[in-house]
Structure formats: structure tokens, C-alpha cells
């Protein structure tokens, strides 16, 4: 299963959203990869994800293979479409300190 999502984070794919991607991927048995401009990263590798150098507006292709692929893809859809809510809430907390 495959899908493409736009990265709509102001600072692009940095450590916090990459960590959320890793945590989401770890919930599933399926093999999950992200691709940007021909470069591919395992969704369980934070360094691989950061190596994609995905800035705001980047199109990320997600490929999921395995027994729970539909559930995994649905989880990533929610993560991307919600704008990585834990990242935004953490950023707001830091701004108010």
C-alpha cells in the first residue's frame, strides 16, 4: 500500500516529528518506508528520516507492506493530516516558558 502526503510543518522534518514517525511505525509489524525525491528511509530510523532533508511542503511517499498495512497507513494519514499535533503543542509550551 502506498500514499503521498505533504509535509506542512513550518520547520520541515526535524527531530520531534521524525520521532513521532518512528513511534508510529513501531506500533506495527509492517515494513514502512518513506521516500522523498528518490531517497528512501526506514520509518523506524530517525537518522534515516532526518537524512531525507524534507522541508515544508515536501511530498513524502509512504510505502507499507505487511499484515497490518491498512491500519499502519491509516495511522500515518492521521498523523500527517492532523499536522503532527504533539509537535505543535510542545512548540507552544516552549514559546510560553
For the annotated catalytic residues, the residue numbers are: 14
Cβ–Cβ < 8 Å for 43, 23: no
Amino acid at each position: 500500500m502506498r500514499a503521498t502526503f505533504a509535509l506542512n510543518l513550518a520547520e520541515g522534518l526535524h527531530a520531534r516529528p521524525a520521532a513521532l514517525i518512528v513511534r508510529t511505525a513501531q506500533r506495527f509489524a509492517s515494513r514502512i518506508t518513506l521516500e522523498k525525491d528518490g531517497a528512501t528511509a526506514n520509518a523506524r530510523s530517525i537518522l534515516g528520516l532526518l537524512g531525507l532533508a524534507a522541508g515544508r511542503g515536501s511530498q513524502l511517499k509512504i510505502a507499507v507492506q505487511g499484515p497490518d498495512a491498512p491500519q499502519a497507513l491509516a495511522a500515518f494519514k492521521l498523523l500527517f493530516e492532523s499536522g503532527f499535533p504533539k509537535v505543535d503543542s510542545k512548540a507552544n509550551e516552549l514559546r510560553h516558558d
